[in-house]
Amino acid sequence: MKSLLIADTTREERERIVAESIGNIDGACDGCRPGLIEMYQDYIEGRKELRQVNMEFNARYISGATGPERGECDFSRQD
């Protein structure tokens, strides 16, 4: 397995790593994909390592602080 570190990847590779990791979650559309992609933007841009982004998210989750914002889609509406 190739290293996921910023020093060992290009921006394009990091975009692909995030996209493949998130996968196709549109089928269960709960509006979280845009928030997840935004959460990993610092990794994609080379500002924070993947491990650091995940640790920060985990710390917010454990502390009860808010995480990525969820949007709304037609699937989740109950008319």
Q: Is residue 16 part of a domain?
A: yes
Q: Is residue 1 part of a domain?
A: no
pLDDT attached to residue 58: 83
The values of phi and psi at residue 29, to 5°, are -40, 105
Count, residues in the chain: 79
Amino acid code (one letter) for 74 = D
State which residues form the domain around 56: 6-76
| Whether residue 35 has pLDDT greater than 80 | no
Sign of the alpha-carbon dihedral angle for 46, 41, 50, 9: negative
Amino acid code (one letter) for 71 = G
| Interval 53-79: pLDDT, tens | 989 888 876 666 555 555 555 444 444
pLDDT attached to residue 23: 73
pLDDT attached to residue 22: 79
pTM: 0.62
Total domains, the chain: 1
Taking the C-alpha atoms of residue 37 and residue 26, their distance in angstroms, rounded to an integer, is: 13
Whole-number CA gyration radius for the chain = 14
Q: Is residue 15 part of a domain?
A: yes
Q: Is residue 25 part of a domain?
A: yes
